Copies of this chain bind each other. A is one copy, B any other.
Amino acid sequence: MPGTRADHADLDVVAVGHAVVDVLAPSDEAALDRLGLVKGTMALVDEARGEALYAAMGPAVEVSGGSAANTAVGVARLGGSAAFVGKVRDDQLGTVFAHDIRAAGVAYATPPATAGPATGRCLVLVTADAERTMGTYLGAAAGLAPADIDAALVARAAVTYLEGYMWDPPDGIAALQAAIAAARGAGRQVALSLSDPFCVARHRDEFLALLEGEVDLLFANEDEIVGLLGAGSFDAAVSAWKRRRPLAALTRGAAGSVVVTGDDVVAVPAVPVDEVVDTTGAGDLYAAGFLYGHTRGLDPAGCAHLGARAAAEVIAHLGARPRPRPQHRTA
Protein backbone atom coordinates (compact mmCIF):
# COMPACT_ATOMS: atom_id res chain seq x y z
CA MET A 1 0.00 0.00 0.00
CA PRO A 2 1.53 3.30 -1.01
CA GLY A 3 2.01 5.98 1.60
CA THR A 4 2.43 3.84 4.67
CA ARG A 5 5.58 3.43 6.73
CA ALA A 6 6.05 -0.02 5.23
CA ASP A 7 7.52 1.40 2.05
CA HIS A 8 10.15 3.44 3.87
CA ALA A 9 8.62 6.88 3.87
CA ASP A 10 10.69 8.50 6.63
CA LEU A 11 8.32 11.46 6.96
CA ASP A 12 4.63 11.10 7.74
CA VAL A 13 3.36 14.28 6.13
CA VAL A 14 4.70 17.13 4.03
CA ALA A 15 2.18 19.96 4.02
CA VAL A 16 2.16 22.61 1.30
CA GLY A 17 0.30 25.85 1.91
CA HIS A 18 0.25 29.51 2.78
CA ALA A 19 2.77 30.65 5.37
CA VAL A 20 0.85 33.32 7.26
CA VAL A 21 0.75 34.79 10.75
CA ASP A 22 -2.71 34.97 12.30
CA VAL A 23 -3.74 38.23 13.96
CA LEU A 24 -6.61 37.31 16.29
CA ALA A 25 -8.97 39.70 18.03
CA PRO A 26 -12.41 39.37 19.58
CA SER A 27 -15.18 40.93 17.54
CA ASP A 28 -18.97 41.04 17.26
CA GLU A 29 -21.59 40.54 14.55
CA ALA A 30 -22.17 44.27 14.10
CA ALA A 31 -18.48 44.82 13.38
CA LEU A 32 -18.47 42.02 10.78
CA ASP A 33 -21.44 43.62 9.02
CA ARG A 34 -19.82 47.05 9.14
CA LEU A 35 -16.61 45.64 7.65
CA GLY A 36 -18.48 43.72 4.94
CA LEU A 37 -17.29 40.30 6.12
CA VAL A 38 -19.34 37.09 5.98
CA LYS A 39 -19.15 35.17 9.24
CA GLY A 40 -17.28 31.87 9.15
CA THR A 41 -15.56 32.48 5.83
CA MET A 42 -12.16 33.58 4.57
CA ALA A 43 -11.94 36.55 2.23
CA LEU A 44 -8.76 37.40 0.35
CA VAL A 45 -7.84 41.04 0.82
CA ASP A 46 -5.22 43.25 -0.77
CA GLU A 47 -2.74 45.19 1.34
CA ALA A 48 -4.87 48.36 1.56
CA ARG A 49 -8.01 46.48 2.60
CA GLY A 50 -5.93 44.42 5.04
CA GLU A 51 -4.68 47.61 6.66
CA ALA A 52 -8.19 49.04 6.89
CA LEU A 53 -9.46 45.83 8.52
CA TYR A 54 -6.55 45.81 10.97
CA ALA A 55 -7.20 49.45 11.90
CA ALA A 56 -10.80 48.52 12.71
CA MET A 57 -9.82 45.55 14.90
CA GLY A 58 -9.34 45.64 18.66
CA PRO A 59 -6.11 44.74 20.48
CA ALA A 60 -4.86 41.54 18.90
CA VAL A 61 -2.61 38.57 19.47
CA GLU A 62 -0.20 37.30 16.82
CA VAL A 63 0.15 33.53 16.41
CA SER A 64 1.70 31.68 13.51
CA GLY A 65 -1.00 30.10 11.36
CA GLY A 66 -1.78 28.91 7.84
CA SER A 67 -4.13 25.99 7.28
CA ALA A 68 -1.65 23.34 6.07
CA ALA A 69 1.03 24.67 8.43
CA ASN A 70 -1.35 24.14 11.35
CA THR A 71 -1.91 20.57 10.18
CA ALA A 72 1.86 19.95 10.02
CA VAL A 73 2.25 21.27 13.57
CA GLY A 74 -0.63 19.03 14.68
CA VAL A 75 1.02 15.93 13.20
CA ALA A 76 4.30 16.79 14.98
CA ARG A 77 2.45 17.46 18.25
CA LEU A 78 0.92 13.98 18.11
CA GLY A 79 4.39 12.47 17.74
CA GLY A 80 4.48 12.15 13.97
CA SER A 81 7.08 13.60 11.62
CA ALA A 82 6.13 16.52 9.41
CA ALA A 83 7.59 19.10 7.07
CA PHE A 84 6.08 22.28 5.71
CA VAL A 85 6.59 24.12 2.43
CA GLY A 86 5.40 27.73 2.19
CA LYS A 87 6.79 31.22 1.57
CA VAL A 88 7.47 34.11 3.94
CA ARG A 89 9.46 37.31 3.40
CA ASP A 90 12.70 38.00 5.33
CA ASP A 91 10.91 40.35 7.75
CA GLN A 92 9.89 40.25 11.44
CA LEU A 93 6.66 38.31 10.90
CA GLY A 94 8.51 35.89 8.60
CA THR A 95 11.02 35.29 11.37
CA VAL A 96 8.14 34.66 13.79
CA PHE A 97 6.53 32.15 11.40
CA ALA A 98 9.79 30.25 10.83
CA HIS A 99 10.64 30.21 14.53
CA ASP A 100 7.27 28.90 15.61
CA ILE A 101 6.90 26.10 13.08
CA ARG A 102 10.45 24.86 13.69
CA ALA A 103 10.03 25.15 17.46
CA ALA A 104 6.96 22.94 17.06
CA GLY A 105 9.16 20.24 15.57
CA VAL A 106 8.22 20.68 11.91
CA ALA A 107 11.00 20.70 9.30
CA TYR A 108 10.79 24.01 7.41
CA ALA A 109 13.38 24.98 4.82
CA THR A 110 11.59 27.08 2.18
CA PRO A 111 13.89 30.08 1.61
CA PRO A 112 12.25 33.43 2.53
CA ALA A 113 11.70 35.96 -0.24
CA THR A 114 14.25 38.78 -0.10
CA ALA A 115 12.11 41.24 -2.05
CA GLY A 116 8.45 41.82 -2.83
CA PRO A 117 5.42 41.75 -0.54
CA ALA A 118 5.69 41.35 3.25
CA THR A 119 4.94 38.09 5.06
CA GLY A 120 1.26 37.21 4.73
CA ARG A 121 -1.17 37.59 7.56
CA CYS A 122 -4.65 36.40 8.31
CA LEU A 123 -6.83 38.81 10.27
CA VAL A 124 -9.10 36.62 12.38
CA LEU A 125 -12.16 38.15 14.01
CA VAL A 126 -13.47 35.81 16.71
CA THR A 127 -17.10 36.34 17.67
CA ALA A 128 -18.67 35.40 21.00
CA ASP A 129 -20.06 32.18 19.48
CA ALA A 130 -16.41 31.07 18.92
CA GLU A 131 -16.83 31.34 15.15
CA ARG A 132 -13.97 32.90 13.19
CA THR A 133 -14.15 35.20 10.19
CA MET A 134 -10.99 35.83 8.24
CA GLY A 135 -9.48 38.42 5.95
CA THR A 136 -6.23 37.14 4.47
CA TYR A 137 -3.53 39.26 2.91
CA LEU A 138 -1.36 36.60 1.24
CA GLY A 139 1.69 38.81 0.69
CA ALA A 140 4.82 36.72 0.25
CA ALA A 141 2.83 33.47 0.63
CA ALA A 142 1.38 33.98 -2.85
CA GLY A 143 4.88 33.78 -4.30
CA LEU A 144 5.45 30.06 -3.64
CA ALA A 145 6.90 28.83 -6.94
CA PRO A 146 7.64 25.39 -8.44
CA ALA A 147 11.31 25.99 -7.60
CA ASP A 148 10.35 25.98 -3.91
CA ILE A 149 9.07 22.39 -4.15
CA ASP A 150 11.83 20.06 -2.99
CA ALA A 151 10.98 16.86 -4.87
CA ALA A 152 13.30 14.79 -2.67
CA LEU A 153 11.50 16.02 0.46
CA VAL A 154 8.09 15.24 -1.05
CA ALA A 155 9.29 11.75 -2.03
CA ARG A 156 10.23 11.07 1.61
CA ALA A 157 6.71 11.72 2.94
CA ALA A 158 3.94 9.13 3.12
CA VAL A 159 1.35 11.83 2.42
CA THR A 160 1.65 15.19 0.66
CA TYR A 161 -1.09 17.41 2.06
CA LEU A 162 -2.33 20.40 0.05
CA GLU A 163 -4.60 23.20 1.22
CA GLY A 164 -7.32 24.33 -1.18
CA TYR A 165 -6.45 27.96 -0.52
CA MET A 166 -3.29 27.39 -2.55
CA TRP A 167 -5.37 27.44 -5.73
CA ASP A 168 -6.04 31.15 -5.19
CA PRO A 169 -2.76 32.82 -6.22
CA PRO A 170 -1.67 32.15 -9.84
CA ASP A 171 1.79 30.87 -8.88
CA GLY A 172 0.33 28.56 -6.26
CA ILE A 173 -1.17 26.17 -8.80
CA ALA A 174 2.15 25.57 -10.56
CA ALA A 175 3.82 24.89 -7.20
CA LEU A 176 1.07 22.45 -6.28
CA GLN A 177 1.34 20.65 -9.61
CA ALA A 178 5.06 20.22 -8.94
CA ALA A 179 4.29 18.81 -5.49
CA ILE A 180 1.64 16.42 -6.84
CA ALA A 181 3.99 15.21 -9.59
CA ALA A 182 6.79 14.61 -7.08
CA ALA A 183 4.50 12.69 -4.73
CA ARG A 184 2.91 10.52 -7.40
CA GLY A 185 6.26 9.92 -9.05
CA ALA A 186 7.52 8.50 -5.75
CA GLY A 187 4.41 6.35 -5.28
CA ARG A 188 3.18 8.45 -2.34
CA GLN A 189 -0.31 9.59 -1.44
CA VAL A 190 -1.77 13.03 -2.01
CA ALA A 191 -4.33 14.59 0.32
CA LEU A 192 -6.41 17.69 -0.43
CA SER A 193 -8.30 19.93 1.96
CA LEU A 194 -11.05 22.05 0.39
CA SER A 195 -10.37 24.84 2.94
CA ASP A 196 -13.51 26.98 2.66
CA PRO A 197 -16.88 26.97 0.83
CA PHE A 198 -16.00 30.15 -1.08
CA CYS A 199 -12.68 28.62 -2.04
CA VAL A 200 -14.64 25.64 -3.41
CA ALA A 201 -16.86 28.00 -5.39
CA ARG A 202 -13.80 29.70 -6.87
CA HIS A 203 -12.06 26.49 -7.95
CA ARG A 204 -14.78 23.85 -8.27
CA ASP A 205 -13.78 22.57 -11.70
CA GLU A 206 -10.08 22.32 -10.83
CA PHE A 207 -10.87 20.43 -7.62
CA LEU A 208 -13.23 18.01 -9.40
CA ALA A 209 -10.63 17.32 -12.09
CA LEU A 210 -7.96 16.72 -9.45
CA LEU A 211 -10.22 14.33 -7.56
CA GLU A 212 -10.56 12.17 -10.70
CA GLY A 213 -7.14 10.66 -10.25
CA GLU A 214 -4.54 12.78 -8.49
CA VAL A 215 -5.86 12.73 -4.92
CA ASP A 216 -6.04 9.80 -2.46
CA LEU A 217 -7.65 11.53 0.52
CA LEU A 218 -10.11 14.41 0.57
CA PHE A 219 -10.84 16.57 3.64
CA ALA A 220 -13.93 18.76 3.51
CA ASN A 221 -16.62 20.08 5.78
CA GLU A 222 -20.34 19.85 5.14
CA ASP A 223 -20.70 23.13 3.22
CA GLU A 224 -17.64 22.39 1.13
CA ILE A 225 -18.64 18.90 -0.02
CA VAL A 226 -22.20 20.02 -0.74
CA GLY A 227 -20.85 22.97 -2.74
CA LEU A 228 -18.31 20.85 -4.58
CA LEU A 229 -20.87 18.30 -5.74
CA GLY A 230 -23.75 20.75 -6.15
CA ALA A 231 -25.73 18.40 -3.91
CA GLY A 232 -28.99 19.38 -2.21
CA SER A 233 -27.96 18.08 1.20
CA PHE A 234 -25.12 16.45 3.09
CA ASP A 235 -26.75 13.01 2.70
CA ALA A 236 -27.09 13.55 -1.03
CA ALA A 237 -23.43 14.53 -1.20
CA VAL A 238 -22.42 11.36 0.66
CA SER A 239 -24.51 9.21 -1.70
CA ALA A 240 -22.97 10.94 -4.69
CA TRP A 241 -19.47 10.37 -3.31
CA LYS A 242 -19.78 6.58 -2.86
CA ARG A 243 -17.63 4.52 -5.23
CA ARG A 244 -15.68 7.64 -6.20
CA ARG A 245 -12.03 6.85 -5.83
CA PRO A 246 -10.56 8.97 -3.00
CA LEU A 247 -11.37 8.40 0.62
CA ALA A 248 -13.34 11.41 1.88
CA ALA A 249 -13.21 12.55 5.52
CA LEU A 250 -16.14 14.93 5.95
CA THR A 251 -16.41 17.06 9.09
CA ARG A 252 -19.68 18.36 10.53
CA GLY A 253 -18.63 20.42 13.57
CA ALA A 254 -20.33 19.28 16.76
CA ALA A 255 -22.05 16.49 14.79
CA GLY A 256 -18.73 14.71 14.28
CA SER A 257 -17.40 13.39 10.99
CA VAL A 258 -18.26 10.89 8.28
CA VAL A 259 -15.67 8.88 6.36
CA VAL A 260 -16.68 7.58 2.93
CA THR A 261 -14.58 4.86 1.29
CA GLY A 262 -16.09 3.06 -1.68
CA ASP A 263 -19.49 1.94 -0.42
CA ASP A 264 -18.56 2.21 3.26
CA VAL A 265 -19.81 5.16 5.27
CA VAL A 266 -18.57 5.43 8.87
CA ALA A 267 -19.88 8.15 11.21
CA VAL A 268 -17.66 9.10 14.17
CA PRO A 269 -18.85 11.46 16.93
CA ALA A 270 -17.06 14.68 17.91
CA VAL A 271 -15.12 14.74 21.19
CA PRO A 272 -17.01 16.93 23.69
CA VAL A 273 -15.41 20.20 24.81
CA ASP A 274 -16.30 22.07 28.03
CA GLU A 275 -16.18 25.47 26.40
CA VAL A 276 -15.62 26.17 22.72
CA VAL A 277 -13.47 29.32 22.68
CA ASP A 278 -12.35 29.63 19.07
CA THR A 279 -13.04 27.23 16.21
CA THR A 280 -10.02 28.50 14.23
CA GLY A 281 -7.97 25.48 13.24
CA ALA A 282 -10.62 22.83 13.94
CA GLY A 283 -10.50 21.46 10.38
CA ASP A 284 -6.72 21.74 10.22
CA LEU A 285 -6.26 19.73 13.40
CA TYR A 286 -8.89 17.16 12.43
CA ALA A 287 -6.77 16.53 9.33
CA ALA A 288 -3.64 16.27 11.52
CA GLY A 289 -5.16 13.61 13.74
CA PHE A 290 -6.62 11.72 10.78
CA LEU A 291 -3.30 11.73 8.89
CA TYR A 292 -1.38 10.66 11.98
CA GLY A 293 -3.65 7.62 12.26
CA HIS A 294 -3.65 6.99 8.52
CA THR A 295 0.14 6.90 8.26
CA ARG A 296 0.12 4.34 11.09
CA GLY A 297 -2.35 2.07 9.28
CA LEU A 298 -5.43 2.79 11.43
CA ASP A 299 -8.85 2.11 9.92
CA PRO A 300 -11.06 5.08 8.90
CA ALA A 301 -12.99 5.11 12.20
CA GLY A 302 -9.72 5.15 14.18
CA CYS A 303 -8.32 7.94 12.03
CA ALA A 304 -11.52 9.97 12.39
CA HIS A 305 -11.46 9.55 16.16
CA LEU A 306 -7.88 10.85 16.36
CA GLY A 307 -8.98 13.76 14.16
CA ALA A 308 -11.86 14.52 16.51
CA ARG A 309 -9.54 14.49 19.51
CA ALA A 310 -7.03 16.88 17.94
CA ALA A 311 -9.85 19.22 16.85
CA ALA A 312 -11.34 19.20 20.36
CA GLU A 313 -8.03 20.36 21.84
CA VAL A 314 -7.61 23.29 19.47
CA ILE A 315 -11.14 24.70 19.74
CA ALA A 316 -10.87 24.94 23.55
CA HIS A 317 -8.41 27.84 23.33
CA LEU A 318 -7.70 30.93 21.23
CA GLY A 319 -5.55 30.23 18.17
CA ALA A 320 -5.29 27.60 15.47
CA ARG A 321 -2.42 25.46 16.71
CA PRO A 322 -2.25 22.99 19.59
CA ARG A 323 -0.80 24.39 22.78
CA PRO A 324 2.70 23.22 23.64
CA ARG A 325 2.71 20.67 26.44
CA PRO A 326 3.76 22.62 29.57
CA GLN A 327 0.81 24.93 28.98
CA HIS A 328 -1.60 22.16 29.96
CA ARG A 329 -0.45 21.87 33.53
CA THR A 330 -2.38 23.63 36.25
CA ALA A 331 -0.63 26.13 38.49
Residue of B nearest to A125 (CB): B326
Q: How far is the CA of A129 from the CA of B329 in the complex (A)?
A: 8
For chain A, the count of residues having a C-beta within 8 Å of the partner chain is 45
Query: Once the chains are docked, how many angstroms separate the CA of A101 from the CA of B60?
Result: 10
A283 to B46 alpha-carbon distance, docked (Å):
41
Q: In residues 100-135 of chain A, which contact B (Cβ within 8 Å)?
A: 100-101, 103-104, 118-119, 126-130
Within the assembled complex, what's the spacing in Å between the Cα atoms of A207 and B28?
Answer: 45
- Output the nearest chain B residue to A131 by Cβ-Cβ distance: B331
CB distance from A54 to the nearest CB of B (A): 6
A203 at the binding interface (Cβ < 8 Å)? no
Whether the Cβ atoms of B96 and A62 lie closer than 8 Å is: yes
Point out the residues of chain B lying under 8 angstroms from A323, CB to CB: 26
Residue contact B324 to A55, C-beta cutoff 8 Å: no
CB pair B104 A26 closer than 8 Å: no
Are the CB atoms of A326 and B57 closer together than 8 Å? no
CB-nearest residue of chain B to A96? B62
By a beta-carbon cutoff of 8 Å, the part of chain A in contact with chain B is 25-28, 54-55, 57-64, 73, 91-93, 96, 99-101, 103-104, 118-119, 126-130, 275-277, 318-319, 321, 323-327, 329-331
29 residue pairs bridging A and B, Cβ less than 8 Å apart: A25-B324, A26-B323, A26-B324, A27-B326, A28-B326, A54-B99, A55-B99, A58-B103, A58-B324, A59-B64, A59-B104, A59-B324, A60-B100, A61-B61, A61-B62, A61-B63, A62-B62, A62-B63, A91-B92, A92-B93, A92-B119, A128-B329, A128-B330, A129-B331, A130-B331, A275-B331, A276-B331, A277-B331, A318-B327
